[in-house]
Structures are given as structure tokens and as C-alpha cells.
Amino acid sequence: MKVSIILAAGEGTRMKSKIPKVLHKVCGKPILEYVIDASIGAQVQKNVVIVGHGGDEVRDYFKGKGLIFENQPIGQGAPYGTGFAVMQGLKHVDDESTVVILCGDTPLIRKETINRLFAYHNEGNYSCTVLTAILDDPTGYGRIIRDEVGNISKIVEDKDATEEERQVREINAGIYCFTGKMLKQGLSKIDDDNAQGEFYLTDAVEILKNEGYNVGAYVIEDPVETHGINNRVQLAFSEKVMRQRINEFHMLNGVTIINPETTYIEDGVIIGRDTIIYPNTYLEGATTIGEDCEIRSNTRIVDSRIGDGVCIESSLIEESSVGDGTKIGPNAHLRPKSNLGKNIKIGNFVEVKNSTLGDNAKAGHLAYIGDAFIGKNTNIGCGVIFANYNGKDKQITKVGDHVFIGSNSNLVAPVNIHDWAYIAAGSTITKDVEEASLSIARAEQVNKLNWVDKKGLR
């Protein structure tokens, strides 16, 4: 069985945050979630997450994901170090298990790399395999020291390294593969006799090597995957890399992104072929966009489903559904639970909330549509307000098919406007309007001749 032990107990003091480090987000997902997804993607059957600082928050976030959590004791007198952290997960490891040790703060690691590490480990029949990387500047990382024939001799931490050892550019990426039996054996013999006073997992590697066991070192193809996050600068670097990966994925699958550097697409967003994404666009959460769409600049779409052939310009769409061929914007706002049918027009400065609009409906400009059901082929004029709130409760307005609502009208809920009804401009509607009727609800116009002169106003 494949088992992962994911180390996520670090305090993350350099983040200077109330949020546990591994819950800080990269492209909309917590750092830790990327590591977990990579492990699951590599067909690891049992995933053990070691938590410490902020452990309850981490558990709550990933509740129901099928993970195993173990606490690492923290506080005064508690042992520290990667070796001690891994020990907390050993109860879930059998002697025959193949165990991968992962860092919870390295979101750029890929499932393909974990699979290649497994393959290298198994093909070489190693007791332990260390994932390594070649860096131009290895400062701060543990160095891989090899013997005269190129086999791994030991791993020395940066603070414990000699000046000569610090010149080595091959570093320990902090990711390992062990057979279960050898992991237990190595950890049983480590101590905290080092500069940091910690139990190093690297000492277990050296112990196995010195006892004559086969220890391998797999050099990763792309060192950026080993990038860990300890502060906001490193968080921003990972965000940039992940954003580039996501955008390239969509472009290679037939999506045009005019300027990838100014386009923000979160992991998990789905976009159909021949859709064009313009600069300064934000696609977030569980958003799905169909084929042949145009998502123009300064648009933000969150947790929404967009059909095929939709054009959206400079608008905000939240938790809503938009049918095929619909045009939205500029400067429109679909608030949560807005459901638009096909070939609808929502124009500039139109706000829709918790409402359903039938096919071919139109609201061209300057309207508020809240808590409403609107039928097919209905026209909502300029300045129309659905008055849905009485100060205590929200009320529903129902509008039928082929209805015409004149400009600057108010529909005071609850009210029903039946099919083919017409509402005269400037009306305030408080009663139901029958089918095919014209409703006029405004004061009669009175023109007082010469009123200005009588008042002496000119």
C-alpha cells in the first residue's frame, strides 16, 4: 500500500498571520490542498496529515476528505524536527508499505513527480530515496553529499554544514520515499544532538546508509516544484507559478487568453474551447464557462455556470447560471441565485438577485430585479425597480411571458403580472395585472398655465 505522511504542523511565524500557514491560498486553494491533491493523484491510498499549530482549523477545512490527521505535540518542552513529526504517523504504516514523506507548504509539487519518485524507488530497490534538486543558490537548504562513485553519502543541514559542504548545489527537497520497515528502523535510532536540537528525518537516512542499506537520490526535473512557502514573498512566487500553469493548461486546451499575465483563473475552473478571455479577468471557485464565449476585461465570475456563446463585459457574476447566447454588461451585477435563460440581454447597470429570467428576456439598463420570476420574451424598461423588501420580509414578483414593463416603473411585491400585459412608463404597480391588459398607475398630469409668471419666477 502507498501511504503519504504530509507534514503540516509548522507554526509559520514568518507569515505573520492568524491563519495557519498551510491554509493560506494559492489561486483560490489552500497551500496544503495542492499537496494532498498531488498525493491522491499519485494513487496514494492512505494520506496522513500531521498538524500542530492551527490544527483544529486545518481539520475543519478538510473534514470529509478521507484524510487521517495526527497531532504533533507543541509548546514548551515538546520535541521538534521533521523526524519527530513523521513519528506521529508511524501507527498508520505497515512494514510492507511504500511511504512518501511530503511537505505541506510546497504547493507546486506535481503528482507526476511523486509517481516518478515511486518508480525510481521501486526500480532501484532502495530502502530510502531522497528527492533532490540542483539550485543556483542553495542557501538555507540541506545539502546532498555524495561519495566518490556518486552514491548518496549523507544529508547535512545548512546550519551544520562545513564551508566546503555549503558549496554543494544539490539540495534536499524535503520529500522522501521509504519502505515502511526501513522508515521505522531509521527513526528508532535518531536523536537531537545537532545545532538545532531537533530530531532530523535526514539523520534516519544517514543511519540507513551507514548500516549498509540502499539509499537513492532522485533529482527532480523542475526544481521550482520544491519551492516551499514561509513568508508572503514566497507565497506570491508560488501564486505566480501556479497562475502560469493554470493559464497554460487552458490555452493548450483551446482557450484564447489575450494577456495571461493579467488574467486570474483559479484551479478547478472549467473553460470550453474557442472562448476568449480578455485582460484583467477573474474566474474564481467552481466556475464553468462554455464554448465560444467572450469574457471581456474587468469581469469577475465566482462559482457560476456560463453557457455557450455568452458575451460578458466588465461585470460581476456570483453564484449564478447564465444560458447560451446571453449578453451581459457592461457594469452589470448578477448576485447569488440569479438564473438566466438563453439569449437574454442584461445591459449596463442592471442588477439581478435571486431571480429567474426566461429565454429572450431583456433588461437593457439601470434596473433592479430582485426575488422575481420573469417569463420569456419580456422587456424590462430603463429604471424599473422590483421593490421586493417591505422592511421585514422579502416578497416575490411574478412576471409572465411577452410582458412589457415601461421605463421608471416600480413593481411592489408581492404582485403578479400576467402574460402579454403592458405597464405604462412611470407606474407604481401594487396590484395584479390581468393578461393582455394595460396598467397605468400614476397621477393624472396637470398643466397650470402661466404659473411661473404668476409666481414671479421670471
Residues in a beta bridge with 357: 340, 374
Peptide bond into 79 cis (omega under 30): no
365 is catalytic: yes
Give residue-wise pLDDT tens across range 146-168: 888 888 888 888 888 899 999 99
Would you tell me the crossing angle of helices 180-187 and 201-210 to the nearest 10 degrees? 100
Query: How much is the pTM?
Result: 0.91
Q: What is the pLDDT of residues 103-141, one digit of tens each?
A: 999 999 999 999 999 999 999 999 999 999 999 999 888
Strand order across the beta sheet in which 397-399 lies: 270-271, 288-289, 305-306, 321-322, 339-340, 356-357, 372-374, 397-399, 415-417
**Structural domains in the chain, sorted by start:** 2-226 (3.90.550.10), 232-439 (2.160.10.10)
- ∠ Cα 203 100 13 (to 5°): 70
Average pLDDT in the 222-241 region?
96
- Which residues, 6+ apart, have CB-to-CB distance to 177 below 8 Å? 98, 99, 100, 101, 117, 118, 120, 121, 126, 128, 129, 131
- Beta-carbon contacts of residue 36 (< 8 Å; ≥ 6 apart): 6, 47, 49, 62, 65, 67
Question: Which residue in the list 333, 365, 402, 418 is annotated as catalytic?
Answer: 365
pLDDT band of residue 419 (cuts 50, 70, 90) is: very high
pLDDT on residue 445 = 85
User: Higher confidence at residue 30 or residue 10?
Assistant: 30
Asked which of 66-70, 132-136, 196-200 is least confident by mean pLDDT, the reply is 196-200
Q: Where are the alpha helices (DSSP H) in 138-200?
A: 180-187
Interval 313-363: pLDDT, tens: 999 999 999 999 999 999 999 999 999 999 999 999 999 999 999 999 999
